[in-house]
């Protein structure tokens, strides 16, 4: 079965474009980050057998970090992402990430990030972070604050290595990183 890009209502895509470009909404970057994390489940396709291809069930967004996760991210726990219930799971650096469909890494330490990226490399886990240089270091998605806006950098090589397909509509909103 081939993986087709998801069909996403135009309103959802328009909302992401507004979050990426609107100075009026750029003030609350935590809300924008939560919205992006939520919508990545609608704009990403995982390979067969990773639990997101069958209908129903859970989509696991794992949070790993040394800072307190903001309440806007916690607010998406239990929301529906397509036909899946989004579940937020807090992880420790020594945990197994096999149950994570997406892993948001909030570590400031480059050595910890590199170790976690090495452990997830080649597995179908969408890795995301706000850490500078994350995409260039092998993470799939890096969020960066630019002129009071939240911007994305996507490492397409890491995306392919992780066996993920991100919608071209979302790729068009991002800066493409090819290390």
pLDDT at 140: 97
Each residue's pLDDT expressed in tens, for the chain with a length of 179 residues: 444 444 445 444 444 544 444 444 434 888 888 999 999 999 999 998 776 666 678 999 999 875 556 788 888 999 998 888 999 998 888 889 999 999 999 866 677 888 899 999 999 999 999 889 999 999 999 999 888 888 999 999 999 999 999 999 999 999 999 87
- The Cα–Cα gap between 127 and 134 comes to 9
- The Cα–Cα gap between 47 and 124 comes to 7
pLDDT at 82: 84
pLDDT at 178: 86
- 143 near 151, Cβ under 8 Å? yes
pLDDT at 68: 59
Question: Domains of the chain (ranges plus CATH)?
Answer: 30-177 (3.40.50)
Q: How far is CA 38 from CA 63, 93, 157, in A?
A: 13, 22, 23
pTM of the entire structure?
0.81
- The Cα–Cα gap between 97 and 71 comes to 23
pLDDT at 27: 44
Kindly report the CA angle at 173 between 134 and 162, in degrees rounded to 5?
45
pLDDT at 67: 53
């Amino acid at each position: 079965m081939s993986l087709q890009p998801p069909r996403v209502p135009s309103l959802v895509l328009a909302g992401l474009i507004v979050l990426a470009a609107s100075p009026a909404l750029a003030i609350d970057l935590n809300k924008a980050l939560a919205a992006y994390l939520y919508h990545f489940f609608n704009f990403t396709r995982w390979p067969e057998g990773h639990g997101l291809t069958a209908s129903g069930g859970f989509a696991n967004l794992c949070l790993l970090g040394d800072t307190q996760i903001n309440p806007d991210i916690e607010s998406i726990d239990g929301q529906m992402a397509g036909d899946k219930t989004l579940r937020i799971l807090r992880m420790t650096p020594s945990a197994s990430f096999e149950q994570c469909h997406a892993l948001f890494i909030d570590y400031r330490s480059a050595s910890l990030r590199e170790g976690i990226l090495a452990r997830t490399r080649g597995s179908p886990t969408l890795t995301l972070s706000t850490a500078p240089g994350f995409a260039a270091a092998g993470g799939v998605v890096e969020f960066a604050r630019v002129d009071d806006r939240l911007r994305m950098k996507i490492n397409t090589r890491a995306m392919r290595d992780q066996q993920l397909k991100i919608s071209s509509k979302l790729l068009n909103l991002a800066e493409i990183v090819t290390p």
